[in-house]
Structure 1
Amino acid sequence: MKIVIIGSGLAGLSAGYRLCKSNEVIVFEKDPDIGGMSASYSLENSGKKYFIEKYYHHIFRSDSELLALIKELGLEKQMLWLEGKNAYFVDGKYYPMNTPFEILHFSPLSILDLAKLGMLVLRIKLIKDTTPYDRIKAKDWVLSTAGESVYENFFAPLMKSKFGDNAGNVSAAWLMGRVKIRSDRGTEGENLGYMRGGFDSLIEALEKEITANEGEIRTNREVTEIVIKDDAVQGVVVNGDFIACDAVISTVEPAVLDSITRGKLGALHETLKSIRYQGTACALIGLDKGLMGDGNYWLNIKADVPFGAVIEHTNFLPFEDYGENIVYVTSYFQERKSLLWTQKEEEVIDSYLKGLESIFPEFSRKDVRWTKLYRRTDTAPVYEQGYLEKVLPFAAGPSGLYLAGMFSSSNYPERSMNGSVKAGFESAELLMQQKEARNQHKELRPV
């Protein structure tokens, strides 16, 4: 069976990995590099080469499918479990937020507010099914549960930095999913996993498995049409050439899928048009000196700067692995007309550096060794109120067309690397189940 996979992110590569041993698999990637949101830079410092993700990543202990895949590929020895310390920069002040003692000194909230926040988090942990909360706005639920001060001084800045003007429309189910996935905390900080040497090892291992089984991964190849005739996939058009196939797994965002299927997905057509995605402008900066001397890894920010978070990678991973301080500065944007998308790379970097100067008085541009900027418009869906009704099925309708990605049920109500791996596996499994069912039907037909 010849299967085309559109996109070489974790969902696409995971699907290809599952299918390549018994099928002819071709993965098409429009970019020069594979990996999608998990792609890495290859950098060198003092003659030492290392890989670092273009967009920060880590693993949670609940990521069972991802951890099983890492073990299956023989990479488990690279796994590290470390404490990622967090802080909050609010109204010009820096607040570590790791121990109960530190949290009690978060002055934007009163002792009563902190108690309400603690009860809200506990309540979320006890909720088994968040489905009913999909129709409720996170803002309304927090206001009714913990009050205005907790929302305005704690949640609102975080949601604003992640969803911009859409923050007020995000569902309570998303917020609950976010809190649940980030609840593995020790006495000093959050327990997070990372692969020593970077997740490039995972991407490379998946690539090797696919190609070792005679599968192909073709970069700089954009699929411009999925050809559907008589409600069945016939093939794809890539760089102007038609390539026949028996099935397609698409991992592209809904708007792109709607375009390349030429509106032939029936009732799903309207759903594809209604799902909104947001973009990301993520800067990676190499420094002679660190930013957060107290060892904090993640800094959420409420300030007049063009970014919402600073992630100091080398306050999480050993400095010795890189020989230089590495910091991510990142922001989401909601529309293509955003300056974060329309400005030149050097202009975005300059605005980020100005923001760092305003937050960290000891920071100097003289300490900057190099900068990189990774940005794209299809980072993730905006999990608005009622989003659950828009979650795309693994089987799209036409025979032979399957979907897997950040829009899949495995990535709701909060996306993750694990959700993408699981989506790839589930789409591949469904494809094979339906293939087997068709084969059995053929065998049972009377001659």
Structure 2
Amino acid sequence: MKIVIIGSGLAGLSAGYRLCKSDEVIIFEKDPDIGGMSASYSIENEGKKYFIEKYYHHIFRSDSELLALIKELGLEKQMLWLKGKNAYFVDGKNYPMNTPVEILHFSPLSILDLAKLGMLVLRIKLIKDTAPYDRIKAKEWILDTAGKSVYENFFAPLMKSKFGDNAENVSAAWVIGRVKIRSDRGAEGEKLGYMRGGFNSLIEALAGEITANGGEIRTDREVTEIVIKDSAVQGVKVNGGFIPCDAVISTAEPAVLDAITGGKLGDLHETLKSIRYQGTACALIGLDRSLMEDGNYWLNIKADVPFGAVIEHTNFLPFDDYGENLVYVTSYFQDRKSPLWTQKDTDVIDSYLKGLEKMFPKLSRKDVRWTRLYRRMDTAPVYEQGYLEKVLPFAAGPSGLYLAGMFSSSNYPERSMNGSVKAGFQSVELLRKEKEKTGYDEK
């Protein structure tokens, strides 16, 4: 069976890995590099080469499918579980947010507010099914549950940095999913997983298995049409040429999927048009000195700066692995008219550096060794009220067309690397069930 996979992110590569030993697999990637949101930079520093993700990532203990995949690929010895210190920057001051005692010293909230916040977190931990909260706006639920001060001084800035002008439309299900995944910590704080050498090792291992088993990965190749005739996939058009195939697994965002299928997916057509995605502008900065000298890894922000979070990677991973300090600065944007999308790379970087200088007076431009900027319009869906009704099925309708990606049920109500791996696997499971029914021969 010949299968085309559109996209070489974790969902596409995971699907290709599961299929390559039994089927003929071709992965088409529109970018020059594989990996999608998990792609890496290759950095040279004083004769030493290392890989670092274009967009920050880490693993949670609950990421069972991802951890099993890492083990299956023989990479478990590269796994590290490290303490990632978190803080909240409010009114020019950093507040550590790692332990219950530290959270009690978060002065923007009163003792009563902190008690309400604690009760909210406890309530969230007890929620088993987030579906009933999908139709409720997060803002309304937090206001009703914990009050105005907790919303305005704790949640609102975080939601604004994550979803911009769409923040007030986000569902309570997303907030619940987010808190649940981030509140699984012990008395000393949260431990997060990372692969020594970076997640490039995972991407390359998956790609290596696919090609070793006869599969192909073609970069700089954009699929412009999925050819559907008589309600069945016939093949794809790529760079002007037609590639026949028996099935397609698409990881393309909904708007792109709608375009390359010509709006021919029936009832799904309207859903694809209604799903809103947001973009990201993520800068990676190499510095001669540490930015957050207090050892913080992740800094959430309530301040007048053009970004919502600062992540100092080398306050998480050992400095010696890189030989220089690495800091991510990131912001989300909602449409193509945003300056974060329309401005030159140098202008976006300059605005970020000005924001950092405002927050960290000790920082000098002389400390900056180099900068990189990674921008995408299709980072992730906006998980607004009622999004659950828009979650795309793994089977799109026409025979032979399957879907996997950020839009899949495994990435709701909170997206993750694990959710994308799981989506890739689930699309393959469904494809194989259909394959058994049709009686296709093995590779």
Using structure 2 for the length normalisation, give the TM-score. Answer: 0.99
The residue type equivalent to 2:151 in the other structure is Y
Q: How do 1:295-314 and structure 2 match up within 5 A?
A: 295-314=295-314
Is residue 2:206 matched to residue 1:206?
Answer: yes
2:159 match:
159
Unaligned runs of 5+ in 1: 443-447
Counterparts of 2:404 and 2:289 in 1: how far apart (Å)? 41
2:238 match:
238
Cα-to-partner distance string for 1:115-153 (whole Å, 9 max, x where unaligned): 000000000000011110000000000000000000000
Is residue 2:3 matched to residue 1:6?
Answer: no
How far residue 369 of structure 1 moved from its aligned partner, in angstroms, is: 0.3
Using structure 1 for the length normalisation, give the TM-score. Answer: 0.98
Counterparts of 1:202 and 1:184 in 2: how far apart (Å)? 25
Change (3 A) 1:188 1:288: farther
1:35 match:
35
How far residue 99 of structure 1 moved from its aligned partner, in angstroms, is: 2.2
Counterparts of 2:299 and 2:186 in 1: how far apart (Å)? 18
1:412 match:
412
1:400 match:
400
Counterparts of 2:40 and 2:188 in 1: how far apart (Å)? 29
Is residue 2:148 matched to residue 1:145?
Answer: no
Counterparts of 2:113 and 2:338 in 1: how far apart (Å)? 35
The residue type equivalent to 1:323 in the other structure is G
Unaligned runs of 5+ in 2: none
Q: How do 1:60-209 and structure 2 match up within 5 A?
A: 60-209=60-209
2:19 match:
19
Q: Judge which range, 70-79 or 183-192, deviates more.
A: 183-192
Question: Percent of counterpart pairs with the same letter?
Answer: 87
The residue type equivalent to 2:120 in the other structure is L
The residue type equivalent to 1:135 in the other structure is R
Counterparts of 1:33 and 1:184 in 2: how far apart (Å)? 34
Counterparts of 2:104 and 2:420 in 1: how far apart (Å)? 37
Counterparts of 2:188 and 2:350 in 1: how far apart (Å)? 34
SS state at 1:235 partner: strand
Is residue 2:218 matched to residue 1:223?
Answer: no
How far residue 285 of structure 1 moved from its aligned partner, in angstroms, is: 0.3
SS state at 2:134 partner: helix
Q: Judge which range, 47-56 or 96-105, deviates more.
A: 96-105
2:369 match:
369
1:327 match:
327
Cα-to-partner distance string for 1:361-383 (whole Å, 9 max, x where unaligned): 11111100000000000000000
Counterparts of 1:282 and 1:186 in 2: how far apart (Å)? 30
How far residue 205 of structure 1 moved from its aligned partner, in angstroms, is: 0.2
SS state at 1:202 partner: helix
SS state at 1:107 partner: coil
How far residue 92 of structure 1 moved from its aligned partner, in angstroms, is: 1.9
Counterparts of 2:26 and 2:99 in 1: how far apart (Å)? 49
1:277 match:
277
Is residue 2:370 matched to residue 1:349?
Answer: no
Cα-to-partner distance string for 1:300-349 (whole Å, 9 max, x where unaligned): 00111100000000000000100100000000000110000000000000
How far residue 96 of structure 1 moved from its aligned partner, in angstroms, is: 1.2
The residue type equivalent to 1:331 in the other structure is S
The residue type equivalent to 1:176 in the other structure is I
The residue type equivalent to 2:269 in the other structure is H
Counterparts of 1:390 and 1:403 in 2: how far apart (Å)? 13
1:445 match:
none
Counterparts of 1:113 and 1:159 in 2: how far apart (Å)? 18
SS state at 1:420 partner: helix
Q: Is the 8 A contact 1:310 1:328 kept in 2?
A: yes
SS state at 2:56 partner: coil
Q: Judge which range, 283-292 or 101-110, deviates more.
A: 101-110
The residue type equivalent to 1:410 in the other structure is S
How far residue 438 of structure 1 moved from its aligned partner, in angstroms, is: 1.5
The residue type equivalent to 1:17 in the other structure is Y
How far residue 7 of structure 1 moved from its aligned partner, in angstroms, is: 0.1
The residue type equivalent to 1:65 in the other structure is E
Aligned residues: 441
Q: Is the 8 A contact 1:85 1:188 kept in 2?
A: no
The runs of at least 4 aligned residues of structure 1 exceeding 3 Å deviation read none
Counterparts of 2:438 and 2:239 in 1: how far apart (Å)? 32
Cα-to-partner distance string for 1:224-282 (whole Å, 9 max, x where unaligned): 00000000000000000011000000000000000000011000000000000000000
Q: Is the 8 A contact 1:281 1:373 kept in 2?
A: yes
How far residue 221 of structure 1 moved from its aligned partner, in angstroms, is: 0.2
Counterparts of 1:185 and 1:371 in 2: how far apart (Å)? 33
Q: Judge which range, 188-197 or 65-74, deviates more.
A: 188-197
Counterparts of 1:317 and 1:302 in 2: how far apart (Å)? 26
Counterparts of 1:286 and 1:189 in 2: how far apart (Å)? 27
